[in-house]
Amino acid sequence: QKEVEQNSGPLSVPEGAIASLNCTYSDRVSQSFFWYRQYSGKSPELIMSIYSNGDKEDGRFTAQLNKASQYVSLLIRDSQPSDSATYLCAVLSGGSYIPTFGRGTSLIVHP
């Protein structure tokens, strides 16, 4: 059973702070990792993907992957109230096209 674990939150941070979202996974052969943002009542929207160990930066977002420890994280710098949403981690094993999603972490950025 492939598992993807996320703290459901809510994670509350003040505007301008760094929000750190974490995800752990059980399948050691996982190769592709995705972060989706889902606003309440909306569909998931891809914001970051990462495939190799280390950091990947895109604007205010940084994804960090550590395959040895089986975790992937998402950092959001200079958090804005508009970042308030649920962030879903998804993991894809090598050779598979079916991702496993975590339950998501609710982020609240308060002014």
CA distances from 7 to 14, 16, 25, 104 (A): 19, 22, 12, 7
Nearer of residues 10 and 14 to another protein, judged by Cβ:
10
Which residues ranging from 60 to 99 are in contact with another protein (CB under 8 A)? 88, 90, 92-99
Position of tokens 């395959």? 67
| Binding segment (CB under 8 A) for another protein, from list 10-18, 35-43, 57-65, 69-77 | 35-43
Q: Is 1 helix (H, G, I), strand (E, B) or coil?
A: coil
Exposure string of 12-22, with b = 16+ CB inside 10 Å and e = fewer, is ebeeeeebebb
Task: Identify the residue among 37, 44, 72, 85 touching another protein (CB under 8 A).
Answer: 44
Q: Given the rule CB under 8 A, which residues bind another protein?
A: 4, 6, 8, 31-32, 34, 36, 42-46, 49, 51, 88, 90, 92-104
